[in-house]
């Protein structure tokens, strides 16, 4: 058998179950064996594919994976050209070096603060536990001096030694616990703070797209072209005034690229989105969205340079 067959199950293929066979019109059910045309991604029962002599769209290639379900991409259009500073970021491409540097810097600061707080807690415990014994030894010495009683230096030394050792042990054993309590009470958290003032390379927002430091409303954009070839991922934004901005980013693997594609598909309700990729899984995902989502999405079968 020279084509890919998939057996459906309700857990993983709920988005396929219930569709109709392209030849017989039969409803596709769980446990059915199906085939996907690689060109149009139409689904056929195995027997129907055999009936068509394993050929559709003038070709015989089939998908060796089941296309991903299309997410519900719903948003209300903002008709006014007023940016909301708190609007939701659909997706962003960050400067990885500065982002990593920011994360390392935050980790260092948090680690230093943790070390400082724990050391402070241990020193405070040590002083708290040693001071009473030292005070007792001092008072004891003062009383003996007042009444001209001979002082036994060994007793004083023992009191000081005992208090010091007890304080060190207690601070070591209890210092971590009290420092944790102190850190929690301080609520020191840098998770949502950027220590380095950098801007993401690209943001897809509710009302438009931000490229580095400049924002563009969707109604200014004619189309967005996404080309991924090898190690490069190029994004060309064509504007209605005929000028184009082109940005290149390092190509990521499928799992890290998928959210970016879904964000562009989300933006397709406002502007035309053209895709090209040489990755078969990404191609399958975008063909699924092109086929099932109502946005203006076009997926190229062959690379067309812009």
Residues 110 and 181 in one domain: yes
- Are 105 and 131 contained in the same domain? yes
Sheet-wide strand order for 89-93: 89-93, 202-205, 208-211, 214-217
Decide: 270 and 75 in contact? Cβ < 8 Å: no
List, as one string, the DSSP characters of 19-62: -B-TTT-PBP-TT-EEEEBTTT--EEEHHHHHHTTS-BTTB--B
Q: Is the pTM of this model over 0.85?
A: no
Local confidence pLDDT in tens for the 306 residues of the chain: 578 899 988 877 877 888 888 788 888 998 999 998 877 778 899 998 988 888 888 888 888 778 766 554 444 334 344 455 556 677 676 654 444 455 566 666 666 667 776 777 667 766 776 667 667 667 766 776 676 666 666 666 676 676 667 666 766 666 666 666 665 655 555 554 544 444 556 888 888 888 877 888 888 999 999 988 777 788 899 999 989 988 887 777 778 788 888 888 888 888 898 988 888 888 888 887 777 666 688 888 754 444
CA 129 – CA 265 distance, rounded (Å) = 64
Report the distance separating Cα 25 and Cα 290, nearest Å.
22
Q: Which domain holds residue 294?
A: 89-94+202-299
Tokens of 170: 């207690």
Residue 209, domain member (yes or no):
yes
Same domain for 266 and 228: yes
Q: Is residue 125 a contact partner of residue 175, using CB atoms and an 8 Å limit? A: yes
CB 57 within 8 A of CB 37: yes
Last residue of a domain, one of 133, 158, 186: 186
Length, in residues, of the chain? 306
- The structure tokens listed for 124 are 């405070």
């Amino acid at each position: 058998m020279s084509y890919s067959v998939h057996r459906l199950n309700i857990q993983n293929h709920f988005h396929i179950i219930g569709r109709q066979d392209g030849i017989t019109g039969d409803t596709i059910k769980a446990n059915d064996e199906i085939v996907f045309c690689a060109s149009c991604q139409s689904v056929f029962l195995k027997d129907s594919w055999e009936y068509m002599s394993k050929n559709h769209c003038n070709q015989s290639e089939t998908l060796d994976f089941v296309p991903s379900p299309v997410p519900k991409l719903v948003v209300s259009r903002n008709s006014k050209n007023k940016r909301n500073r708190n609007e939701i970021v659909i997706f962003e491409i960050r400067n990885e070096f500065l982002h990593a540097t920011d994360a390392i810097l935050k980790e260092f600061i948090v680690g230093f603060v943790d070390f400082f707080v724990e050391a402070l807690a241990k020193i405070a415990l040590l002083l708290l536990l040693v001071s009473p014994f030292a005070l007792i030894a001092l008072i004891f010495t003062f009383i003996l001096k007042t009444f001209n009683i001979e002082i036994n230096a060994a007793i004083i030394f023992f009191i000081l030694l005992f208090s010091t050792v007890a304080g060190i042990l207690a601070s070591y054993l209890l210092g971590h616990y009290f420092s944790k309590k102190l850190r929690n009470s301080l609520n020191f958290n840098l998770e949502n703070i950027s220590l380095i003032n950098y801007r993401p390379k690209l943001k897809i927002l509710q009302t438009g797209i931000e490229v580095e430091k400049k924002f563009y409303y969707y109604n200014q954009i004619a189309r967005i072209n996404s080309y991924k070839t090898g190690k490069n991922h190029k994004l060309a934004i064509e504007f209605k005034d005929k000028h184009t901005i082109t940005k290149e980013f390092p190509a990521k693997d499928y799992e890290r690229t998928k959210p970016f594609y879904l964000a562009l598909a989300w933006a397709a309700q406002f502007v035309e989105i053209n895709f090209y990729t040489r990755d078969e899984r990404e191609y399958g995902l975008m063909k699924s969205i092109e086929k099932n989502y109502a946005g203006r999405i076009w997926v190229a079968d062959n690379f067309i340079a812009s």
